[in-house]
Amino acid sequence: MRIGVWGGCLVMWACFGCSTQSQQQAPPLASQVCANCHGPRGDGVSPAFPRLAGQQAPYVEAQLNAFRDHSRGDPSAVAYMWGMASQLDNRSITQLAAYYAAQSPIPGAPGSEALMTKGKAIYEQGLPNEGVPACISCHGPNAEGKDNIPRLGGQYPAYLVKQLAYFKSELRANAPVMHAVTYNMTLEQMDAVTIYAASK
Amino acid sequence: MPVVQRNGAGISLASAAAVAVSLLMCSNEVWAVPSFARQTGLACEACHTVFPELTPFGRQFKLNGYLIDNLPQVKGMTADKSEALLLNQLPPLSVQFIASYTKFNTAVPDPNGGPSQNGTVQFPEAFSLFYAGRIAPKLGGFIQVTWSNSSNTFGWDNTDIRFADQTTLAKENLTWGLTFNNSPTVQDAWNSTPAWRYPFNQTTSLAGSLPSPPPPSGTTQLDGIGNGTVAGGGIYGFWNNLVYAEFSAYGASPHNISAPLNSAFNGEVVQGVSPYGRIALQPTWGRNSLEVGLVYFQDNVVAAGQNVTSGTTNGFRDTALDAQYQFIGDDNIFSAEAIYIYEKQSLNATPGLSGAFITQTSNNLSTFRLGASYFYQRQWGGSVGYFSTSGSTNNQLYINGTPNTSGWALELDYLPWQNVKLAAQLILYSKFNGASNNYDGTGRNASGNNTLYLFAWLAF
């Protein structure tokens, strides 16, 4: 079975650039280590750890590099990911990011109507009076993200809220633009917009 | 912790005192080790709720052979590029230091009359050295050596060395491996089974040379059999982070013998091969995990002084049902565990109160433990536990007719840092060795053994 897996990995790595969604063989790290918290295909295990399935590859690469060089230092990053990323080489980071990007994103699920209505307004129009720009301008109409801007659709709302709180307090400091975005947001506004974005 | 020779025959007061078995006491304590933190680079909270209780990720780490590693390695390779050596450049070593104060509700009588000192400081009560982590490619281990105040010696403690690998079964991940260990359930991943359950640390003042109440008579094999008695190994698998199954077998491996093992060994000896089986189901959802499982263990034990291969044995068949629930939030952590062990005993070579072998050889014994704990931000919290032993009425064996013992174990904890635990523990007995009042014939009540235990547990 192990030989078969390794053989499969070699074949997949040979045509890495042309792998199809959800068919790509997982790098051993992904299936043996990352899967314990992020799920076998990045599809999630617990809201404590973000889903990675369908996440933008440049974003995943940037985060793994930030964990490795400690430029991202929110409490969960320090406790879990600094250790996990410390011995990753550049090639592993690229392979992991490509693997997760190739997985089918988890479909979002709608939240309560009141929060969804409020969240949709914030996502599409921002909060002009508080200087909060519309999320749609960077994260896209379906919260799919692009390049270094992460996918939000299908993510655990609880994880997204925690990141917004970290950005506001600067406990997570590897995205200065997000500190400016969240500076004037209340927790209620964060709840609403993350429930909406995650539902996409 | 003192290496305690234990047996489940629970028999005459003399032998019970000699082996110093307590319903609550378990020398298999303390398994969270900074060695793993050093090896993985992960903070304690990745694998533990509050040490030593494991998170689901911590269970995966253990079942994967303690191998997840982020330290620079010394590597060796064969001509066909397979790994021949993988040594951590820094060995994953760590220590633990436990200091304590123990006081009983009623002072224990002094052998020469009057009361003993009540309120004993032990500094330390126990000190352990650990090597815990990778040994070789796909081989890892948890190895503990402990100095205990009561014995004033270093003794061999919990050891679990395992080979682990991963494959797929029905398109899902299967972690499988081989475990080699010295105590049934030390290899288990859940905190409901005897080697790993609450209370995780208990006073050793019920045993050893310190004056102490005589222990409750009778404890099951699964509760009591520990390192220094057996060694064995087996094969296990954990499929899709959901289904666990294991089959192992143990044989005699007592300490302090000159090989070959023979009747000159002054202790009880497990005869032949003792099988052990374990299955568990662990569904997880959101921040929750639930485990339900079964454990089976059986052995035949030869009494001290008998021929170790042909002597008459006492037979034990243990079947246990266990469960564990965890909710691990960002600030709030709640967990609960329970285990019920039912033991069928064939006490064919057991001296009774009169000194002669008992004739009522067929007995049963069961133990029940229930525990629940809550922690806020992994700093403040506590636990409540209930324990109970009950067994067949046997007036040849038990001074009060039964071994029945029950009570509560309460604990408050404060962790100023993740690897430092300050605790106040209270054990309250409602029944001890078959009676609530005057259980030993000298007027000592069960509540006299109520124990206040204050301790500082440092792991670094």
How do the domains of chain B map onto residue ranges? 13-73+82-459
Q: Which of B338, B425, B421 is nearest to B375 (CA)?
A: B421
Peptide bond into B254 cis (omega under 30): no
The CA-to-CA distance between both ends of chain B, in Å, stands at 17
Domain A27-101, CATH number (from 1.10.486.10, 1.10.760.10, 3.40.50.300, 3.90.1150.10): 1.10.760.10
User: A162 — contact with chain B (CB < 8 Å)?
Assistant: yes
Q: Are the beta carbons of B8 and B216 closer than 8 angstroms? A: no
User: B43 — contact with chain A (CB < 8 Å)?
Assistant: yes
Q: Are the beta carbons of B170 and B238 closer than 8 angstroms? A: no
What's chain B's average pLDDT? 86
Instruction: Write down the residue that tokens 């189901």 correspond to.
Output: B281
User: B290 — contact with chain A (CB < 8 Å)?
Assistant: no
How far apart are the C-alpha atoms of B20 and B33, rounded to whole Å?
27
User: B176 — contact with chain A (CB < 8 Å)?
Assistant: no
User: A9 — contact with chain B (CB < 8 Å)?
Assistant: no
Q: Are the beta carbons of B316 and B301 closer than 8 angstroms? A: yes
Could you tell me which CATH number the domain at A113-198 has? 1.10.760.10
- Top mean pLDDT of B21-30, B66-75, B242-251, B267-276 is at B242-251
Report phi then psi at B39, rounded to 5.
-70, -45
CB-count burial class (<10 Å; 0-12, 13-18, 19+) for B431: buried
How far apart are the C-alpha atoms of B396 and B403, rounded to whole Å?
12
Cβ–Cβ of B70/A83 closer than 8 Å?
yes
Q: Picking from A14-28, B32-46, B229-243, which range would have the lowest pLDDT averaged per residue?
A: A14-28
HEC states along B49-66? CCCCCECHHHHHHHHCCC
ipTM above 0.90, yes or no: no
- Encode pLDDT of B132-148 as tens digits: 888 998 899 999 999 99
Query: Which residues of chain B are within 8 Å of residue A68 when distances are taken between CB atoms?
Result: none
| DSSP category for residue A152 | -
- Encode pLDDT of B396-455 as tens digits: 999 899 999 999 999 999 999 999 999 999 999 999 999 999 998 889 999 999 999 999
Q: What residue in A sits closest to B71 (Cα-Cα)?
A: A87
Q: What residue in B sits closest to A80 (Cα-Cα)?
A: B42
**Chain A contacts in chain B segment 239-258 (CB below 8 A):** 241
The domain locations on chain A are 27-101, 113-198
Give the tokens for residue B406: 């029950």
User: B330 — contact with chain A (CB < 8 Å)?
Assistant: yes
Q: How far is B231 from chain A (nearest CA, A)?
A: 30
Q: Using CB atoms, which residue from B40, B166, B286 is nearest to A83?
A: B40
B317-337: buried (b, 16+ CB within 10 Å) or exposed (e) per residue? bbbbebbbbbbbeeeebbbbb
Write down the pLDDT at residue B151.
85
Write down the pLDDT at residue B306.
86
Q: How far is B78 from chain A (nearest CA, A)?
A: 17
Q: How far is A83 from chain B (nearest CA, A)?
A: 4
Q: Are the beta carbons of A112 and A186 closer than 8 angstroms? A: no
User: A80 — contact with chain B (CB < 8 Å)?
Assistant: yes
Query: Which residues of chain B are within 8 Å of residue A33 when distances are taken between CB atoms?
Result: 68
Q: Using CB atoms, which residue from B42, B68, B173 is nearest to A31?
A: B173
How much is the pTM? 0.85
Write down the pLDDT at residue B334.
98
Helix (H, G, I), strand (E, B) or coil at B25: coil
Q: How far is A32 from chain B (nearest CA, A)?
A: 7
Helix (H, G, I), strand (E, B) or coil at A17: helix
Q: What residue in B sits closest to A157 (Cα-Cα)?
A: B286
Write down the pLDDT at residue B206.
58
User: B153 — contact with chain A (CB < 8 Å)?
Assistant: no
Q: What residue in A sits closest to B64 (Cα-Cα)?
A: A32
Q: What residue in A sits closest to B45 (Cα-Cα)?
A: A79
Q: Are the beta carbons of B96 and B124 closer than 8 angstroms? A: no
Average pLDDT of B347-352?
90
Architecture field, domain B13-73+82-459: Beta Barrel (2.40)
Q: How far is A125 from chain B (nearest CA, A)?
A: 31
- Encode pLDDT of B301-321 as tens digits: 998 888 999 999 999 999 999
A93-98 contact pairs (CB < 8 A, 24+):
A93/A61, A93/A64, A93/A65, A93/A68, A94/A61, A95/A13, A95/A16, A95/A27, A95/A29, A96/A27, A96/A29, A96/A30, A96/A34, A96/A60, A96/A64, A97/A57, A97/A58, A97/A60, A97/A61, A97/A64, A98/A16, A98/A19, A98/A24, A98/A57
Q: Using CB atoms, which residue from A36, A80, A162 is nearest to B60?
A: A36
Query: Which residues of chain A are within 8 Å of residue B71 when distances are taken between CB atoms?
Result: 87
Cβ–Cβ of A1/B330 closer than 8 Å?
no
Q: Are the beta carbons of B455 and B201 closer than 8 angstroms? A: yes
Which residues are CB-neighbours of B203 under 8 A, at least 6 positions away?
Answer: B25, B100, B102, B125, B425, B451, B453, B455
Cβ–Cβ of A83/B72 closer than 8 Å?
no
